[in-house]
Amino acid sequence: MKLWSQFFIPTLKESPADADITSHKLLVRAGLVRKLAGGLYTYLPLGLRVMRKITQICREEIERGGGIELEMPHLHPVENWQHGPRWPAAREIMFRADSAGDGKRPSREPEFVLGPTHEEVITPLVKAEITSYRDLPKNFYQIATKFRNEIRPRYGLMRAREFVMMDAYSFDVDDPHAIVSYQRMKAAYEAFFRRIGAHAIAVEADTGVMGGSFSHEFMVPAEVGDDDVIYCEASGYAANREKATSALVPKDLADAAPVGATELFPTPGIVTIAALEAAPYSVPADQQFKTLVFMGDGKPFVVILRGGDELEEAKLGSLGFTLFRPATPEEIEPVMGARPGSLGAVRGTIKNAGALAGVFADYAIRLIGNGVTGANQDGHHLRNVNVARDLAVTKFGDFRRVRPGEPCPLSGQPLQVRRGIEVGHIFKLGTKYSEKYGAAYTDDQKQSHPMVMGCYGIGIGRTMQAVIEQSHDADGIVWPWAIAPYQVLVCVLDPQLPEAMELATRLAAAAEAAGADVLVDDRAERPGVKFKDADLIGIPLRVTIGGKGLKEGIIELKARTSKDVRKVPLAEAETQLAAAVHSCRGVA
Ligand code: ATP
Ligand code: MG
């Protein structure tokens, strides 16, 4: 048992000025963390206890899922990253570190970087240590600090610059085995979130340039989340915004019958979908073709969508370009023959079609019959444009952002959208890293193959805060039993009475014997202050011992989740408290 007077729980009445969301306010007010600077936090003793409990449950479940724990350095030689596949992108978020005192000026590249994640360290390690199929599969994990120079650290521990992550890396002989490792980790994640009392759902996520459907994010539904989840209650379908699709376009859709030949018409000064929607043109947005030009690995390519649809840029990852970005008007004009606002992809109208790496059309444009598109002449559009007859499409694909209300791809019911906090991520990596670092094994025929990898992450601090976001009321945090910093709070209203403290010690021992961590509030504070603090820090069970109650021969028992206060005769206090602990723990 811990005595509050000899511990350190600096609760606050007021929320810090920089806290916008409830969980951030409560983290600080309940004395769990203190800010050093933007995105940098000290875990105070109470916060550290929660972090440790989450960490331990995480460790147990990841071990059950096949994980083997190790710990890698936080400081990485920059060469490890330069030799890897993502240095140009990753360097933007990495903190650099230079050794000092050798008299040399810092070079342009740092000597060391602080690890934002560890593929660049684990893959060379595995390459050096594992060479035979007999030693696979292996899944290594650690629970350690990560460093990322987030552009906008915010929301307390949700988006920090320094944070604790469970990161795991699996190595398998081939794809089917890698999928087994992936599924085991997915099950481990589900068990972990269930055990800590977090309601997290696995959501299909985008795999970017890697392709395939083997990525899931674990999302805690919350208004303050940074991510959109598209889901269907009826079928259980759930995907993040980048990945979500719908059954909007029927597979057997027949093309609309053209009403006549394409026809050029002047549209002086009209360069937006909205302007063409307005009078005198009055073309509904979804009867317009939206023509966008991108640069993919140095070559221009065209993307066509319905006018009312938004491009989901992440979906262009499936086209296979390593790097792509929107083209500038200066890059567009010589290829298309016009500037943005008058672009189109009607055969024969593109000035230098041969320069294009392709014309990629979203499936939904097939819903347009006799539509309108730019004529590739400034200030002109074409009407009566039909997809099959008129457009020079290289390939159809899913490039648009799904709109809520569209039919679910599984059930056909309307899709819904809600915000979520990404607390974990699992990813089938394939051989991207193993090929780059030469992490290969030999099979029983002495043939060499690259290992097939997976990578996995859970943000421990973000998870702690997401639980608070999900589990609180107007008075404070409501901790799930498994991760509560203490599970029983013995509130002694008259700590100056020796018999009160003596009873507190006995009850604490009984609760501990039943499997609870116990905090005794022995401060010389008014009852009102003690009860407010008790609610704020969110301990699941509260026992109150007061001088008055002692005279009456009773103590009080109260659960954080309920308003009911149960009076318990002194003679039954220990057994009833033990029974309450057992029932909270789910022990019969
Ligand atoms: P986000 O999209 O939120 O930036 P991410 O995709 O960069 O996250 P991953 O690289 O997949 O995150 O990291 C795995 C997990 O680490 C995330 O699911 C999240 O829980 C946690 N995490 C990532 N960035 C941060 C951060 N800046 N602060 C706290 N936790 C983080
Ligand atoms: Mg992620």
**Ligand 1 geometric centre to CA of 167 (Å):** 11
Q: Is 422 in the pocket of ligand 1 (CB under 6 A)?
A: yes
How is residue 160 written in tokens? 């920090």
Residue 158 belongs to a domain:
yes
Q: Is the minimum distance from the CB of 425 to ligand 1 under 6 angstroms? A: yes
Residue 249, pLDDT > 70, answer yes
> Quick one: pLDDT at residue 332?
97
pLDDT (tens digit per residue) in 42-99:
999 999 999 999 999 999 999 999 999 999 999 999 999 999 999 988 888 999 997 7
Token readout for 48 is 């550290």
Question: What is the distance between the alpha carbons of residues 526 and 360, in angstroms, rounded to a whole number?
Answer: 70
Give yes or no: residues 173 and 286 share one domain: no
Residue 423 in contact with ligand 1 by CB distance below 6 A: yes
Residues 285 and 201 in one domain: no
Distance CA 365, CA 362 (A): 6
How many distinct helices (H) and strands (E) make up the chain? 15, 32
Contact 449, 441 (CB under 8 A): yes
| 404 part of a folded domain | no
What CA–CA distance (Å, rounded) separates 429 from 215?
Answer: 9
Please tell me the distance between residue 418's alpha carbon and the centre of ligand 2 in angstroms. 18
Instruction: Kindly state if the Cβ of 118 falls inside 6 Å of ligand 1.
Output: no
Under 8 Å between Cβ of 390 and 344: no
4 assigned to some structural domain: no
Residue 257 within any structural domain of the chain: no
Is residue 412 in some structural domain?
A: no
Residues 464 and 496 in one domain: no
Q: Is the pLDDT of residue 450 over 70?
A: yes
For the CA of 424, the nearest atom of ligand 1? 18
Q: Is 461 in the pocket of ligand 1 (CB under 6 A)?
A: yes
Residue in this structure with the two tokens 């008790």, named with its chain if needed: 534
Which is higher by pLDDT, 250 or 327?
327
Strand boundaries in 316-379, DSSP class E: 324-326, 359-362, 371-374
Q: How far is the CA of 377 from the centre of ligand 1 (A)?
A: 46
Whether 464 has a pLDDT exceeding 90, the answer reads yes
Residues 361, 511: Cα–Cα separation, whole Å: 65
Task: Provide the domain limits for residue 381.
Answer: 263-397
Grade residue 102 by pLDDT with cuts at 50, 70 and 90. low
Residue with tokens 């650290």: 153
Largest CA distance in the chain: 98
- How many domains is the chain partitioned into structurally? 3
Asked if residue 202 and residue 57 are part of one domain, the reply reads yes
Cα 140 to chain center, whole Å? 21
CB 513 within 8 A of CB 578: yes
Report the C-alpha gap between 256 and 366 in whole angstroms: 9
Nearest CA to ligand 1 atom 23: 459
Q: Is the CB of 67 under 6 A from ligand 1?
A: no
* Residue 241 near ligand 1, beta carbon < 6 Å: no
For residues 237 and 150, membership in a common domain is answered with: yes
Q: Indicate whether 73 and 194 sit together in one domain.
A: yes
pLDDT the model gives residue 252: 83
Tokens, residue 581: 């602990």
* 63 plus 204 within the same structural domain: yes
Does 464 sit in the ligand 1 pocket, CB within 6 Å?
no
- For the CA of 427, the nearest atom of ligand 1: 11
Q: Does residue 252 lie in a domain region?
A: no
Question: Would you say residue 276 lies in a domain?
Answer: yes
Q: Which of 189, 425, 426, 458 to mutate to test the pocket of ligand 1 (most atoms within 8 A of CB)?
A: 425
**Final residue of a structural domain among 369, 397, 425:** 397
Q: Quick check: is 410 in a domain?
A: no
Compute the average pLDDT of residues 229-257. 90
CA of residue 313 to ligand 1 center, whole Å: 20
Domain boundary among 368, 397, 426: 397
Same domain as 35, residue 157: yes
**pLDDT value at position 213?**
55
* pLDDT score recorded for residue 211: 45
Q: Do 33 and 171 reside in the same domain of the chain?
A: yes
Q: What is the pLDDT of residue 206?
A: 79
Identify whether residues 276 and 241 lie together within a single domain. no
Residues 139 and 241 in one domain: yes
The CATH number linked to 569 is 3.40.50.800
Which residue's CA is the nearest one to ligand 1's atom 21? Answer: 459
Q: What is the mean pLDDT of residues 479-499?
A: 97
Q: What is the pLDDT of residues 27-47, one digit of tens each?
A: 999 999 999 999 999 999 999
* 464 and 493 assigned to the same domain: no
> How far, in Å, from the CA of 459 to the mean position of ligand 1?
6
Computed over every residue of the chain, the mean pLDDT equals 95
The CATH number for 387's domain is 3.90.960.10
CA of 161, closest atom in ligand 1: 27
Give distance in angstroms: CA of 246 to centre of ligand 2: 22
pLDDT tens figures, 296-354: 999 999 999 999 999 999 999 889 887 899 999 999 999 999 999 999 999 999 999 99
CA of 205 to the centre of ligand 1 (A): 14
| pLDDT at 110 exceeding the cut of 90 | no
**Could you tell which of 33, 86, 118, 165 is best to mutate to test the pocket of ligand 1, judged by most ligand atoms within 8 Å of the CB?**
165
Instruction: Give the integer Cα–Cα distance in Å for 380 and 264.
Output: 7
Using the predicted structure, report yes or no on whether residue 141 has a pLDDT greater than 90: yes
pTM: 0.90
